[in-house]
Structure 1
Amino acid sequence: MTGIPRTHPRYHSLIARENIVEGVNKGITSMQGLVAQGRGECFDYLLGERTLPSALLAEKIASALLLLADRPVISVNGNTSALVPEKMVELASVTGASLEVNLFHRTEERVSRIISHLKSFGATCVLGARGNGRLDLEHARAIVDQEGIYSADVVLVPLEDGDRCQKLVEMGKTVIAIDLNPFSRTSKTATLTVVDNVSRAMANLIHYSREFENCNHEELGEIAGDFDNATFLSDAVEELMENLKNQ
């Protein structure tokens, strides 16, 4: 990995780029993931490369929803496996969620590599290899594990494809998306959208999940409360437009 001094003003962004490139070299991230990373960087830059107060509230609610779930699942793709593998393993441990590999550009080799990669960070069981369930989609994202995403009640989908997000919602699942683009189909169709960089979001989810892990069902329900996802999206759009005006 290229030597990048911590004093560099874009240190975290550059490290993320290096991690994605390393993921491609390891065979866990697709080449198309490089494009997706660049798009995300653009929106993060426009949002000020910080967690908005509304995003922090969404992360707090998301943590409560994961802890309330009977069968929570964290979906893993090539980019997240390169960017935040240790955070996904830790969040799964704290919330009791399963990890499941789900890829648009799916090969059995990539699935196997990602499972091994996550296990190297301490994951004990990672789903996604069986592929014995199917969503109503016409691409490889449809392939899921019956005991994982297919039967989950809450699914956390960082860096998601919009059509799968929509199908999961139509199946009656609570879908928590992490997406820096407040205009995306994923952001608009998810039950709850966290408009934040995936690394910051996962760190905050871990923090709040640890804070709430001893709360009872009623207390978690009060934390989750009644929320309107459109409010989180409109707040992000307002921040984005304000930053553009102030350039």
Structure 2
Amino acid sequence: MTLIPKSHPRLNSLLIREKLVKGFDDNLVAKEGLLAHGRGEAFDYLIGEKTSKSAKEAIKAAAFMLKNAKNSVISVNGNFVALCPKEIIQLAKNTNSKIEVNLFYSNEKRKKAITKILKKSGAKEIFGLNKKSSTKLLGIDSARRIVDKNGIFSADVVLVPLEDGDRTIALKKAKKKIITFDLNPLSRTAETADITIVDNVTRAMKLLVSESKKKL
């Protein structure tokens, strides 16, 4: 990684960029994912790169929804795994949630790279990899329509961070409760989800993991 001075005013932002670039080099992150992050980063600057009071309330609601779900699933993509691998595993354990790989720019090389990082971080079971248990979501044409019968397809609650609006809408039509992280409060995902956490996913995931440890 590039040596970034600790005194740099955008230290955390630059460290996140470095993680994503490494994720790209390691085949986790698609090049389009780098561009998508830049868009979100601009919104983060607008909120002062801090977690707002409303975001903290949304995080509490998200933890409650996940812990009360009958079959909750954390949907992961390359950016999410590159930035928050340990937090994903911790949240899954705390809320008894499944983890499913679901990619817009899908290929086997990326799936293997993402799976490797998740397992290295402590994941025991990962959904979305077995073609025999795959099925399709209605109302969406991208590769993200392919979901696991035992994961997202049968879930009642789905956490969909860093999401595209098409799948969020399709999941809502499939009667799923949706939790998302989205720095753009006007995006289709943010406006469609049941709970939208308007915050940087790296900050919010740490808080969500902490909140999920609390007793109901």
Instruction: Check whether TM > 0.5.
Output: yes
Map 1:127-166 onto structure 2 (within 5 A): 127-131=127-131, 132-136=134-138, 137-166=140-169
Query: Do 1:28 and 1:110's aligned partners in 2 also have CA atoms closer than 8 Å?
Result: yes
Paired with 1:69 and 1:175, the residues of 2 have a C-alpha distance of 11
Structure 2 gap segments, 5+ residues each: none
Structure 1 stretch displaced more, 116-125 or 129-138: 129-138
Structure 1 stretch displaced more, 126-135 or 143-152: 126-135
Shift of 1:116: 1.1
Structure 1 counterpart of 2:75: 75
Is 2:209 aligned against 1:200? no
Structure 2 counterpart of 1:119: 119
Structure 1 counterpart of 2:35: 35
Structure 1 counterpart of 2:15: 15
Structure 1 stretch displaced more, 5-14 or 143-152: 5-14
**2:214 alignment partner, SS class:** helix
**2:178 alignment partner, SS class:** strand
Letter in 2 for 1:3: L
Shift of 1:6: 2.4
Query: Do 1:108 and 1:129's aligned partners in 2 also have CA atoms closer than 8 Å?
Result: no
Q: CA RMSD in A?
A: 0.8
**2:89 alignment partner, SS class:** helix
User: How many equivalent residue pairs?
Assistant: 213
**CA deviation digits over 1:153-173, x for unaligned, max 9?**
000011001010011111111
Structure 2 counterpart of 1:184: 187
Shift of 1:117: 1.0
Shift of 1:185: 0.4
Is 2:209 aligned against 1:209? no
**1:211 alignment partner, SS class:** coil
Structure 2 counterpart of 1:169: 172
- Identity percentage of aligned residues: 49
Paired with 1:33 and 1:121, the residues of 2 have a C-alpha distance of 22
Paired with 2:116 and 2:130, the residues of 1 have a C-alpha distance of 15
Paired with 1:123 and 1:14, the residues of 2 have a C-alpha distance of 28
Shift of 1:125: 1.0
Shift of 1:176: 0.3
After TM superposition, the runs of 4+ consecutive aligned structure 1 residues lying more than 2 A away are: none
Shift of 1:126: 1.2
**2:65 alignment partner, SS class:** helix
Paired with 1:73 and 1:140, the residues of 2 have a C-alpha distance of 18
Question: Which of the two has higher C-alpha Rg?
Answer: 1
Structure 1 counterpart of 2:86: 86
TM-score under structure 2 normalisation? 0.96
